Every structure is written in structure tokens, then in C-alpha cells.
A and B are shown apart, each in its own frame.
Chain A
Amino acid sequence: MFEISIASRHLIYRKRQTFLSIIAIALAVGISIFFTSLANGSQQLLTEIVIEKLPHITVYPKEGDDYIYLYRSLIDKIKNDIEVDTVAYSLASKASFSFKDRTKNVLLKGIVPKDEDEIYQISQSMILGNLSSIMGGKNVVLGRKLANDLKLKMGDNVEASFPNANRAQLTVVGIFDTGTPLDEQAAFVSLKTSQGFVGKGDIVNVIEARLDDIFQSNAVAQKLKSQTNYEAEGWQETYPEIRSSLAASRFWTGITVILVMIVAFLGIANTMTMRVMDKTQEIGMLMSIGARRLNIMKIFLLESCILGILGSILGCVIGFLAVIAVGSFKFGIEAGGEEITSVPLVIIPMDFLTYPLLAIVLCLAAGLYPAIRASRLDPVIAIRD
């Protein structure tokens, strides 16, 4: 393989050009790895929120109905046939809360505290009182922002009024702070209490469930819908903003990767074209002493391949160090009820294989045209030039 010694000698003696090309590829690989880790990190953060704090599947009444009447058998069916373990049922209705001269619209949800906790983890977010206290009569637990807006304190009696039911007095027995929109909108009473307000007997209007694999939720919802005729949707439909934010972060990462790879591709294509031009006479000479077209092509393809490999290795190091450096930078913000203390970054080992491979393939592609041109030179003209 005399081609490789010629190729590597060319690279060594063109230090500046070689160095710049390697840097271009390294940046492309490093930036790709870094931004992918960032996207992975925010995806993980969002999925954790979905997994821990939100229902994965929500079941509503059949089309045309306002309530789920036979909810116990439906829940049995869900548990047995669809094999979903964690299920909570509730009766939610719109209400408005008044205290002294203040009034606010709320979503009043009649729940079974233990079940609801499995889905929303309210108990963990209680700052005053506890969730199970709603079981002892006409008691309510509400979000911190809602309580602040109404100037409610523990033990206060708030007046709840409904579109289709009589007013009622509810005693504040707990306040929670989840860091989500629930804090401003939601109030919990016992299922019995809210069934009392509605006055239609033992009914619910929402069933929520959790799955082991959140990315199965659409499929499971579809299955539920076709087997039971109840309306069912996955979290992607219930919380479209989460889905679109996941999609957006993937989209922008993709755009970033494509752009930096294009820049690296053009850089290598340019470098290789210049190299072939610089080496025209040498190519003519090599042909005159018996090098075949394939030999000439190999020399220049090897050069771009070596640039790709070295650039990729450096790029992996740069990407890894960037992730470590940015990841160790500490601060405190709150998002989704969780305190984030550093930029969420998740490294996937596969990225250290895919991006270098992509870069090497691009380098070969960028070197292909100049290499073919080199191999097609007319030796007589090449030597004279």
C-alpha cells in the first residue's frame, strides 16, 4: 500500500491545511454530540415528568354521554384485559370558588386520594395538611397559587358554586405546590363529596392510568377505545405541548447536525480539490511510472478518510468535554415542579459511533469527486502543467 504512505506524507507536510480540516470535522462531530446530548437531556426531563407526575392514559365517557356510569366494571376490564395496573377514577367538574370578595374558577376534582396520588404524586407536594383529610366530610385541598389568590388559609370555609348544582361550603384542609398549572386551577375533594354535588349517584367522568412504557400510551389508548367504546387518549394528546416540545428539540438538533455536517463536507471538498490541484504534476508523474487510476483515486480518498477519522476522534473528545463542562455548571431554576440544578444532558454511547461514522462517510463523499478527477487526468498534460 504505497498509497497510504503518499497520502499520510501529504497530510503531514501540509500541517496547516490538515489541522484546519481536522478542526472543521471535529467541530461538526463535537457540536452534533453536544446538541444531541442536550436534546436527550430535555427529552429525559420531560419524559420523567410525564412518567412521574402525569397520567399516561386518560379515559372519558362514551360519545354523547356526560359520565361513566359503570366505571367499576370498566376499571376491572382495563386492569384485566389491557393489563394496566395503576388506575385512578374521579369526577371532575367546573366550579367557582368565592371567599370574602374574591372569586376564581377552578377545576374541582372528586378523587380517591390513594389512587390519585399514584398518578399525580400530590401527597409529595403538600405544603400544609395532607391529601387524605378530604375524606372526612366537605373538605378541600387546593393549590398554593389558588389559595393565595383567594387569600385562603387552613381552616377557612370557601363557597363553591356550580352551573347545575347548589352552592356548598368547603373547609380548606390542605395546600399543595407541585410547580405545575395544577397549583392555580385544581382543587380536590373526596369522590363522595363531588358525587353529592352532581347528584347522579355513583358515577365518574375521568379514568386515568399509568403504564410501564410511556411510549406505548397511544397504542394502549387505541386498544381501549376499540374494546370498550369509551373515549381514550395518550398523554401525547392530553398534553400536546409536551409532545411538540419533544418534537421541536429533536427537529432543531437535526437541523444543527445537518448544518454543521454540511459545513464540514464543503470544507473537506474544498480542501481535497485544492490538494488535487496542487498535486497535478505529481499525479502525472505517478501515472508515468505506472500508477493506475485506481491507485491515484485511493491516495486522495485515503487522505480524506484519514482527515475524517482524526477529526472524528478529536470531535468525540470535544463533544464529551463540552457535555462534562456544561453539565457540571450548577444553577437553580424550577421547571415542572422539579428543581433543575444543571443543564440536563444525556450522553448516548451510540452517538460516539454514529456521528463519527457519518463524518467519515461525508469525508469520503467529499473526497470522491476530486479523487475521480485526479484519476482521470491526462498524464502528458498533468506533467506539463
Chain B
Amino acid sequence: MSDKNIIEIRDLTKIYKNGVDVLAVDGVNLDIKEGEFLAIVGPSGSGKSTLLNMIGLLDTPTSGTIRLKDVDVTKATPDERARFRNKELGFVFQYHHLIPEFSAMENVMIPLLIAGKNKDVARARAQELLDKVNLNDKLNNRPNQLSGGQNQRVAVARALANSPSVVIGDELTGNLDTKTSNLIYELLRELNRKLDQTFILVTHDMHMAEKTDRILRLVDGKIVCELKRQGDGFIESKVCDLGEDNGKIRRV
């Protein structure tokens, strides 16, 4: 992890206006460093997905700015945003969203082909990545020939395809059992260490969150607590209202 900020979020606010206004994200300020392994926790409806979707350029903020590698992406055109999503961002969702008609290999190749890489280059890169997620023996399996955990690993490989600055995961183990979830988190941790890959992960599960370096707790669209890893435990870097999660965290 370097000292350089890869993402700088200032006063980020999202208000949904469907009849009644919903303040989903409320003036969030947040810096994320290159190579960071970050978890966002919080109760249901607290705005975690909304925040993540804005960072991932799938959604636009009502106000505030997001700077990705010193570029103000909130001002980007739709095509520029698509290019950023392709090159600088990787997504892993709760469901793997692999294309059922494609093999693991072909699914991983898609972001590369969208980026304009030729087929041979894309194939070689896909193979390398599937090797990294320990699926080198399943290259030609389609999603329905793979387990939930294996599919999610293919999805991770796909997210890494264009060596993005940030990989974003929204409840990416939400559909998996504890054992498989643990394996996936260990894999992500390994990738984080080996590749210095930045991860931002939203989770309900404090056990998973504790595998990261920094935990942010979001309540009603505001960051109400920040915990930083120190050795095996965490310290609060500002006053915390941990709510239901209080007491579950190992403190230093």
C-alpha cells in the first residue's frame, strides 16, 4: 500500500427523487489509498450500494465529487465513464453475472475484447488470470458446470482483466457459504498483497470485514465509524457508533 490516494471523495451526496426524496448518501468524504483493502459495513438501506455504484461510475451523484487517479470522473461523458469502467474499475457483484453461454475463459476475455485487445492477447491474459484464481483446470467450463464459489472466482478474474485501479465488490460472498466466502476473501487478500490491487468491499458480515485493513461503517448515508487494522486487531480512528456490530470487533 502506497501513500498515494487513488480515490478522493468530497461531500458526496445522492438523493433519490421518486416522489419522496431519499437521502441515500449524505456528504461523504473519503480517501482511498493505492493498494488498500477496504470494507464498508452498515445496516440495510444505509447507502452502501449507492456509494459503491457512484464510485464504480454506474450511478451519478447528486452533488460532490469523485476523483479517480486525479481525474474528476463526476464530470465525465457517458462514453468516458464507460471507458473508465472498462480500464480503471473492476466489478464483482453478489451474483456472478457470468454470461451463461460462454466458458470461464471467454467470460474473462470480454472486458479485454471491449478494451480492443485482439483475441490471442485476450486469451493469454484470461488464462493467466484464471490461473491466479486457481481455476486453470476449468478454463472451458461454462457457469452451469462450475460451483458458486468457482463462478465467483471467474467473476473476480474478469474484474481484474484490464488491471483496474480499483476492484469493487458488493456483497460478493452474499450468496456463498461461510467456508467458500472465507476462501474467496483469502484469495482477494492474496491478490491485494501480490498485485498491490486496491479493493473496496461491501459486506454484511463482520467476520469478512475483519479480514481487511480498514472498515468504514455507514449509517443513514454517513460514515459514522472508521476502524484501522493494527496487527491482529483494529483501532478506532474517530469516535464510533458501532451499533449492532459493537462488541464483535477485536480491539487492540
Contacts and interface: CB of A to CB of B under 8 A. Distances in A.
A282 B97 contact: yes
B82 A291 contact: yes
A292 B113 contact: no
Contact of B114 (A10, A282, A284, A290): A290
Query: Which among B85, B95, B102 has the highest number of chain A CB atoms within 10 Å?
Result: B85
Interface residues of B, number: 32
B56 A289 contact: no
A253 to B, nearest CB: 41
Contact of A289 (B53, B79, B91, B100): B91
A292 B76 CA distance: 14
A293 B113 CA distance: 16
A374 to B, nearest CB: 15
A9 B101 contact: yes
B93 A380 contact: no
B99 A288 contact: no
B82 A282 contact: no
A10 B102 CA distance: 9
A79 to B, nearest CB: 74
B115 interface: yes
Nearest to B91: A288
Nearest to A8: B101
A263 B76 CA distance: 44
Q: Interface residues of A toward B: which range? A: 20 to 34
Given A2-B110, A285-B93, A380-B59, A290 B102 contact: no
A260 interface: no
B58 A288 contact: yes
B101 A12 contact: yes
A378 to B, nearest CB: 8
Contacts of B53: 380
B165 interface: no
B83 interface: yes
Contacts of A86: none
Interface string B81-117: 0111111001101010101111000100111011100
Contacts of B86: 289-291
B214 interface: no
Contact of B111 (A13, A284, A290): A290
Given A285-B93, A288-B85, A289-B158, A13 B114 contact: no
A290 B97 CA distance: 14
B19 interface: no
A9 B100 CA distance: 10
Contacts of B101: 9-10, 12-13
Interface string A339-378: 0000000000000000000000000000000000000000
A281 interface: yes
Contacts of A9: 99, 101-102
A332 B204 CA distance: 84
A161 interface: no
A285 B56 CA distance: 12
B113 A2 contact: yes
B231 interface: no
Nearest to A292: B82
B93 A291 contact: no
B58 A285 contact: no
A295 B85 CA distance: 14
Interface in A1-53: 2, 5-6, 9-10, 12-13
Contacts of A285: 91, 93, 97, 99
A318 interface: no
B93 A289 contact: no
Given A13-B100, A13-B101, A289 B111 contact: yes
B58 A379 contact: yes
Nearest to B97: A285
Nearest to B54: A380
A365 to B, nearest CB: 25
Contacts of A12: 101
Most chain B C-beta atoms within 10 Å of own C-beta, residue among A10, A281, A288, A295 = A288
A290 B89 CA distance: 9
A286 interface: yes
A134 interface: no
10 contacts: A2-B110, A9-B99, A9-B102, A12-B101, A281-B97, A290-B85, A291-B82, A293-B78, A380-B59, A383-B93
Interface of B: 53, 56, 58-59, 78-79, 82-87, 90-91, 93, 95, 97, 99-102, 106, 109-111, 113-115, 158-159, 161-162
5 closest A-B pairs by CB: A290-B86, A2-B113, A285-B97, A9-B101, A13-B101
Given A282-B97, A290-B114, A380-B58, 18 more contacts: A2-B110, A2-B114, A5-B106, A6-B102, A281-B95, A285-B91, A286-B114, A287-B58, A288-B91, A289-B86, A290-B84, A290-B86, A292-B82, A293-B78, A379-B58, A380-B59, A383-B93, A383-B97
